[in-house]
Amino acid sequence: MRETPEESGPPAGHERPPGIGDTTVEALGALTEALETVERARGHLYGFHQLTGGADLTLDRAVELLRKAGHTEHADLVEREILGRNVIPGSWTYQVVEAYNTTYYRPFMEVEARVRQDLVAGRQHLYEAEMKEARRTHGHPDHSAGR
């Protein structure tokens, strides 16, 4: 099975603009890879937020059971010292998430988008698109360019 000319090359919208060199494409690939890592870190931060919040809500049951078992002093200790406690000075986990988003995540996204816009008209994943083109088996139905 032969490919048509339309089937060779990176998918539409993923072509390298004229005059853009390999180092620029590689740099943009590294910048996007770093952003993808930040996306994963942000997901872990939301996991931390949800797990910590869930643990705090579970403490209600622990306090209730300690009281029911007659361990009022220990129930009071858990309630006073842990229930509703800040995870860092002055902040609950939602505040940590908000600070991360405002201080780091959004500026990172904006800078990554600006660099791509300025250098390659906003095109995404040029490095990966070229890697796909180099690694696929032309003419194989499961290796199509994916236009």
In a domain, 70, yes or no: yes
Q: What is the spatial distance between Cα 137 and Cα 147, in angstroms, rounded to a whole number?
A: 15
27 lies in a domain? yes
**Chain position carrying tokens 């942000």:** 42
The whole-number pLDDT of residue 147 equals 63
**Residue range(s) defining the domain that contains residue 120:** 22-131
Q: What is the mean pLDDT of residues 13-31?
A: 92
pLDDT at 134: 83
DSSP 136: S
Tokens matching residue 26: 């590689």
Question: Tokens 């505040």, residue?
Answer: 95
Q: Is residue 112 part of a domain?
A: yes
Predicted TM-score of the model (pTM): 0.83
